[in-house]
Amino acid sequence: MTENLKNRIAFVTGGSRGIGADIAKTLARDGFDIWLNYRSNDAEARKTKEAIEKTGRQCLLLKFDVSNFKETDEAVSPLLETQTPYAVINNAGFRRDTLLIWMKEDEWKDVISVTLNGFFNITKTVLPFMLRKREGRIINIASAAAHFGVPGQSNYSAAKAGLIGATKSLAVEVAKRNVLVNAVSPGFIGTEMLEGLPMEQIIKNIPLGRVGEASDISELVAFLASDKAPYITGQVFQVNGGIGA
């Protein structure tokens, strides 16, 4: 552990499994204690917590829906009375793919809400405390779908493109208080989120010829959350095996 990371907390949303779980474990490896949010999967959340605790770091499980402001406030505000996370990773997200012509209103609203209201609810709750401490990192997990057209994902693409816009505006708002805000935009990463997608077809369009691994994202997040990245803010990093290069 780096000595100056001692007692720093990273707050990771959507951390029970997939990319979020890997980000949480990687940040714990680097010395952060973890607040681990998730929505429903208790078994996977417990596994992630155990893995983190094996590294000697603490892990607090926070089960709530990030798209719900009241739930977020009730779960997080009491903790903020005594502790402030140094890093917030807005990772929770999900897909409800269908062509716009068939899309139901709730498929549009729910996808937008988890990504965008989730970003707002978490960030709005923690930000005043970061600003007071004059330090912090906010890292938003976007998607290649924000940059390139993907049929069936107009809801998801809109949400992730919105998240990128919010990243840039917030970065400018809080830079003077030494709070750095960036986005990492994954391509296709091997998690449950890829279930049901036509992978053979997709892989043909990835220059590196394979999907990525969760660690491809989490190592970049760990860098952005570290003391090695004090001058990077308002940026969007695409990690996608070369799509669109």
If binding is defined by CB under 6 A, does position 20 make contact with ligand NDP?
Answer: yes
Q: How many residues bind ligand NDP (CB under 6 A)?
A: 32
| Closest CB 103 distance from ligand NDP, rounded Å | 17
Rounded to a whole number of angstroms, the minimum distance from the CB of residue 230 to ligand NDP is 25
Q: Does 136 bind ligand NDP (CB under 6 A)?
A: no
Residue 191 CB, shortest distance to ligand NDP, in Å, is 3
User: Interaction with ligand NDP in 95-134: which residues (CB under 6 A)?
Assistant: 114
DSSP class of 115: I
The only residue of 31, 85, 136, 186 in contact with ligand NDP, by rule CB under 6 A: 186
Non-local CB neighbours of 72 within 8 Å, separated by 6+ positions: 64, 65, 66, 121, 122, 125
The beta strand positions in 46-101, using DSSP E, are 59-63, 87-90
Per CB under 6 A, does 191 bind ligand NDP?
yes
Ranges of beta strands (E only) in the chain are 9-12, 33-38, 59-63, 87-90, 136-141, 179-186, 236-239
State yes or no: residue 216 binds ligand NDP (CB under 6 A). no
- Whether the Cβ atoms of residue 12 and residue 20 lie closer than 8 Å to each other: yes
Could you give the dihedral angle defined by the CA atoms of residues 61, 235, 221 and 187, in that order, rounded to the nearest 10 degrees? 100
**Cβ-proximal residues to 232 (8 Å cutoff; 6+ apart), any chain:** 180, 182, 224
Q: Give how far the C-alpha of residue 155 lies from the chain's centroid of Cα atoms, to the nearest Å.
A: 18
Which amino acid is residue 168, in one-letter code? Answer: K
61, 193, 202, 203: which one contacts ligand NDP (CB under 6 A)? 193
Q: Is 92 in the site for ligand NDP (CB under 6 A)?
A: yes
* Residue closer to ligand NDP, measured from CB, 56 or 165: 165
Q: Which two tokens stand for residue 210?
A: 């394979």
Window contacting ligand NDP (CB under 6 A); options: 24-32, 75-83, 119-127, 182-190: 182-190
Q: Residue 155 or residue 226: which is nearer to ligand NDP going by CB?
A: 155
- Rounded to the nearest 10 degrees, how much is the dihedral formed by the CA atoms of 116, 117, 118, 123? 90
Instruction: Give the binding range for ligand NDP (CB under 6 A) out of 50-58, 60-68, 173-181, 218-226.
Output: 60-68
Among 55, 58, 83, 94, binds ligand NDP (CB under 6 A): 94
Binding site for ligand NDP (CB under 6 A): 13-20, 37-41, 44, 65-67, 91-94, 114, 141, 143-144, 186, 188-189, 191-194
